[in-house]
Amino acid sequence: MAECNDKNCHVHGTLSIRGASITGKVVSAKAKHTIVVERPMMKKITKYKRYAKSRSKVQAHCPECMGVEVGDTVRIRECRKISRTKAWAVTDVLKKGEGE
């Protein structure tokens, strides 16, 4: 992991990580220090006693030292609000994927 000057980095900065964690695939990394993570879910429909596939997209803070690209599988964890839409931060890159 490279050194970074990001104050919102959980390793090199002062951002504290607490709460839930999500594992998902990076679908967008266009914005500065922000990635979009998509996680698949199975929702139970009790009326029909079946499951339906669904997905959720979450925006997360990604410091430069992580080196995350589109297609990677990452673990994000909950943190304080960083902006209006970001309350998650990347903690681990679990698997490098093919970039799209």
Confirm if 100 and 70 have CB atoms less than 8 A apart: yes
Of 23, 13, 31, the residue nearest 83 (C-alpha): 31
Domain count, the chain: 1
Q: What is the residue range of 76's domain?
A: 17-95
Q: What is the pLDDT of residue 1?
A: 60
- Report the CATH number at residue 55: 2.40.50.1000
Task: Please give the model's pTM, rounded to 2 decimal places.
Answer: 0.85
In a domain, 10, yes or no: no
pLDDT higher than 90, residue 72: yes
In a domain, 4, yes or no: no
Residue 65 CA to residue 9 CA, distance in Å, equals: 8
Neighbours of 83 (CB within 10 A): 11
In a domain, 34, yes or no: yes
Taking only the tens place, the pLDDT of each residue in 11-55 is 888 888 999 999 999 999 999 999 999 999 999 999 999 999 999
pLDDT tier at 97, thresholds 50, 70, 90 = confident
Backbone angles phi, psi at 65, to 5 degrees: -70, -15
Which amino acid makes up residue 21? Answer: S
